[in-house]
Structure 1
Amino acid sequence: MIPQLSLTEILLILVVAMLLFGAGRLPEIGRSLGEGIRNFKRAFSGEEEKVKEVKGQEVKKGEKS
């Protein structure tokens, strides 16, 4: 189970990230992370549609028999 993060913990993580990567690189890292998440969601939803499509074809085959 994923624990809930408080505001203090989130701020601490952001400060550590700024120290590690610098303030100039953080927007670039955020963009890259967001793009990766979007691509993952897009790929995942595409796979769900394929599974539904295959299941629909199996049902149609079963009805014909």
Structure 2
Amino acid sequence: MITEELNVEDNDPMTAELLHFIDVLRGGAEPLVTGEDGLETLKVINAIIESANKGQKIDIY
């Protein structure tokens, strides 16, 4: 049997997200997700809700 030990940092995801956001605001990093990505995600979420309400497929593109 082969085993390998992995060292993984114990980071809280919300804390990491907030720290990255602050870094972006201060100009030290680029956003991991663009505004366009967010808009596309909202389109998908809205289509899911509409599809569930109407009981039919909804085209988003």
Normalized against structure 2, the TM-score is what? 0.40
Normalized against structure 1, the TM-score is what? 0.38
Higher relative contact order, chain-length normalized (CA < 8 Å, sep 6+): 2
